[in-house]
Amino acid sequence: MKQIICRRFKLKISFLLVLGIFWGCSGPVNASEDGVVYQIIGPKISEESSTPSRWTLEQLEARAGSKEISSLYFDRALGYQGSRFRVISFAVLVNLFDAEGRSDAVLLNCFDDYQGILSIADIQRYDIQLATRIVIGPEFKKPDWLNPLLVIVPDNKRAPFQERYLTANIRELKFTRLKAYYAPLREAGGASSLTGYSAFKDNCLFCHSLMGIGGNKGIRLLESYDFSRRDGKNRFKKDFAAFHHKDNADKQNVEQFVSESQLEAIMDFLRLVNDFAINSMNQ
Q: Which of 155, 176, 197 is the last residue of a domain?
A: 176
Same domain, 192 and 230: yes
Q: Which residue has the higher pLDDT, 223 or 44?
A: 223
Q: What is the pLDDT of residue 266?
A: 92
In which element (H, E) is residue 86 found?
strand 84-89
Region 207-230: mean pLDDT is 92
Structural domain range at position 169: 29-176
Same domain, 194 and 165: no
pLDDT in tens, 229-270: 999 999 988 988 887 766 655 556 676 777 889 889 999 999
Q: What is the pLDDT of residue 14?
A: 42
pLDDT in tens, 142-168: 889 999 999 999 999 999 988 899 999
Same domain, 122 and 254: no
Same domain, 62 and 168: yes
Q: Which residue has the higher pLDDT, 163 or 123?
A: 123
Of the pLDDT bands very low, low, confident and very high (cuts 50, 70, 90), residue 8 is very low
- Give the integer Cα–Cα distance in Å for 63 and 56: 11
What angle do the packed helices 57-64 and 90-97 form, to 10 degrees?
Answer: 80
Q: Looking at the domain assignment, is residue 9 inside a domain?
A: no
Q: Looking at the domain assignment, is residue 39 inside a domain?
A: yes
Q: What is the pLDDT of residue 248?
A: 59
Same domain, 150 and 249: no
Of the pLDDT bands very low, low, confident and very high (cuts 50, 70, 90), residue 32 is very low
Q: What is the pLDDT of residue 29?
A: 30
Q: What is the pLDDT of residue 225?
A: 92
Same domain, 64 and 163: yes
Q: Looking at the domain assignment, is residue 80 inside a domain?
A: yes
The CATH number assigned to the domain holding 106 equals: 3.90.420.10
The answer to whether residue 46 scores a pLDDT higher than 70 is no
Same domain, 151 and 192: no
Same domain, 155 and 82: yes
Q: Looking at the domain assignment, is residue 18 inside a domain?
A: no
Q: Looking at the domain assignment, is residue 85 inside a domain?
A: yes
Of the pLDDT bands very low, low, confident and very high (cuts 50, 70, 90), residue 194 is confident
Query: How does the average pLDDT of the chain come out, rounded?
Result: 83
Same domain, 172 and 184: no
Same domain, 204 and 171: no
SS3 85: strand
* CA angle, 270 then 204 then 43, to 5°: 110
Region 183-204: mean pLDDT is 84
SS3 44: coil
Same domain, 139 and 208: no
Of the pLDDT bands very low, low, confident and very high (cuts 50, 70, 90), residue 134 is very high
- For 80, left (φ over 0), alpha (ψ -120 to 50), or beta? beta
Of the pLDDT bands very low, low, confident and very high (cuts 50, 70, 90), residue 49 is low
**Contacts of residue 246, Cβ cutoff 8 Å, sequence gap at least 6:** 79, 253, 255, 256
Name the domain count of the chain.
2
Of the pLDDT bands very low, low, confident and very high (cuts 50, 70, 90), residue 122 is very high
Contact call for residues 186 and 270 (beta carbons, < 8 A):
no
Q: What is the pLDDT of residue 31?
A: 27
Same domain, 123 and 53: yes
SS3 115: strand
Q: What is the pLDDT of residue 246?
A: 61
Q: What is the pLDDT of residue 81?
A: 95
Q: Looking at the domain assignment, is residue 86 inside a domain?
A: yes
Q: What is the pLDDT of residue 51?
A: 61
The answer to whether residue 187 scores a pLDDT higher than 80 is yes
- Give the integer Cα–Cα distance in Å for 127 and 140: 27
Strand pairing category for 38-41 and 170-176: parallel
Q: Which of 152, 176, 200 is the last residue of a domain?
A: 176
